[in-house]
Structure 1
């Protein structure tokens, strides 16, 4: 028997066009906005993501909603391609579905989260380096924070 949260997660994911880690750089080149919702302690432990906006989960909807007084400059309309990232791709699915609920119809998340980006060498690519064979290094690039 599935737990209630498992049912909610499956329902959220059915509504998303989730991105495999390897497709994230191409989505960013096409104008997607990568948003890291991991808590500060988790980012410190696991590493930063070059170029990602940091928006803590508790304020995500207010920062991404183009009609909110607390919106980010990137929140220019309902067509923004928000790509949400958490550690393993669970919380990000629920967060991306919440963005869909407020009308941001291109919101999605990264399958496998930060761990998938690291494992696929995407962090190196985002830093502008050739992917390392065992790409589990922490990212140290400049990151804008929106708490």
Structure 2
């Protein structure tokens, strides 16, 4: 009787399969508290979708096809503030587009990545219509005070 031993898989810098290390999604009604606690909103919709449906106030606009290069630490295109402790909140059209990207971010060592379930459509339907980022709200307060 012989035993077959498979060769050890090569390790790649970006895993192709892994279990999520943290919850992937957040509800639209939880977005405000997450942003106030330091998460950064990332609008992954295309420019055409933002033109059609409106912008997400206070969010960084990074197209979906650039997300992994911009938010995973260590690539040549990584944002300066991107590291393993970053807390990204991805906002897509309906949430489905952001789910896979969030999974890839977590698998690549960014456990603080989440996506908004229902995406921008859910945010638009939510009762809370304030800007999604604290800095935007502060800026609006300054302008309205003058």
TM-score range, shorter chain: 0.7 to 0.9
Task: Say whether 1:18 aligns with 2:25.
Answer: yes
The match for 1:63 among 66, 70, 73 is 70
Q: Work out the number of aligned pairs and report it.
A: 117
* Unaligned residue ranges in structure 1 (runs of 5+): 1-10, 129-147
Contact map agreement 1:88 1:113 (CA 8 A) in 2? yes
Q: TM-score with structure 1 length normalisation?
A: 0.72
What is the CA–CA distance in structure 2 between the aligned matches of 1:90 and 1:42, rounded to whole Å?
15
Q: CA RMSD in A?
A: 2.2
The match for 2:56 among 49, 67, 73 is 49
* Unaligned residue ranges in structure 2 (runs of 5+): 1-17, 138-146
Task: Say whether 1:83 aligns with 2:63.
Answer: no
Q: Which structure: larger Rg?
A: 2
The match for 2:122 is 116
What is the CA–CA distance in structure 2 between the aligned matches of 1:65 and 1:59, rounded to whole Å?
10
Q: TM-score with structure 2 length normalisation?
A: 0.72
Q: In structure 2, the residue corresponding to 1:92 is in which secondary structure? A: helix
Contact map agreement 1:35 1:55 (CA 8 A) in 2? yes
Q: In structure 1, the residue corresponding to 2:130 is in which secondary structure? A: helix
The match for 2:46 is 39
